[in-house]
């Protein structure tokens, strides 16, 4: 098993798409990239910890390779938005791929370069590729929010503009 870590705005919306893929053992919502140990949701939202909301995925690369995780990641975000994602604004909602080794870095950088070269977007790709830092699991009520609160999750995914963006830029 291997780990992959992606920040894509609100972590609620990042779990389900990864959770539904074969070879995924777990998808955990949490915080990473900052300087405060064991931050709370309230601390991260205060924009004083340096942490981003993120998901950490434990996966079997023989079943679902890292390259495919990165490709799926692009379809879940607006890769050109450096100020947050959709309805959610601020540093804690910005995007990043946190790489766990040199192979992941090479794959993420090549994938980002390919997306930029495709000219799919008129603005530059703003997603940072960073070394993985300690990952802190979010509070239990954030875990698998789409299963615990499906009606609210669906309203949020639609109301935030995330779903419309996905349909416009990536289709089904």
Please check whether residue 52 is in contact with residue 7, taking contact to mean a CB–CB distance below 8 angstroms: yes
- Dump pLDDT digits (tens) for 41-77: 999 999 999 999 999 999 999 999 999 999 999 999 9
Architecture in CATH of 2-170: 2-Layer Sandwich (3.30)
Please check whether residue 149 is in contact with residue 8, taking contact to mean a CB–CB distance below 8 angstroms: no
Catalytic residue ranges: 10
Give the residue among 121, 116, 74, 117 at the shortest CA–CA distance from 95.
74
> Residue 74 burial (CB < 10 Å; 0-12/13-18/19+)?
buried
pLDDT score of 172 more than 80: no
Pairwise CA distance, residues 35 & 48, whole Å: 9
- Dump pLDDT digits (tens) for 23-43: 999 999 999 999 999 999 999
């Amino acid at each position: 098993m291997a780990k992959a870590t992606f920040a894509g705005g609100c972590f609620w919306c990042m779990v389900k798409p990864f959770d539904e893929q074969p070879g995924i053992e777990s998808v955990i919502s949490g915080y990473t990239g900052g300087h405060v140990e064991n931050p709370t949701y309230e601390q991260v939202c205060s924009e004083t910890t340096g942490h981003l909301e993120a998901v950490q995925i434990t996966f079997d690369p023989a079943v679902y390779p890292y390259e495919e995780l990165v490709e799926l990641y692009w379809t879940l975000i607006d890769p050109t938005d450096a100020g947050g994602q959709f309805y959610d604004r601020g540093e804690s909602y910005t995007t990043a791929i946190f790489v766990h080794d040199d192979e992941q870095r090479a794959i993420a950088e090549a994938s980002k370069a390919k997306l930029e070269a495709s000219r799919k977007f008129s603005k530059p790709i703003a997603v940072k590729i960073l070394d993985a830092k300690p990952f802190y699991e979010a509070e239990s009520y954030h875990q698998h929010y789409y299963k615990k609160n499906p009606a609210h999750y669906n309203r949020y995914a639609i109301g935030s503009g995330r779903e419309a963006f996905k349909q416009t830029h990536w289709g089904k």
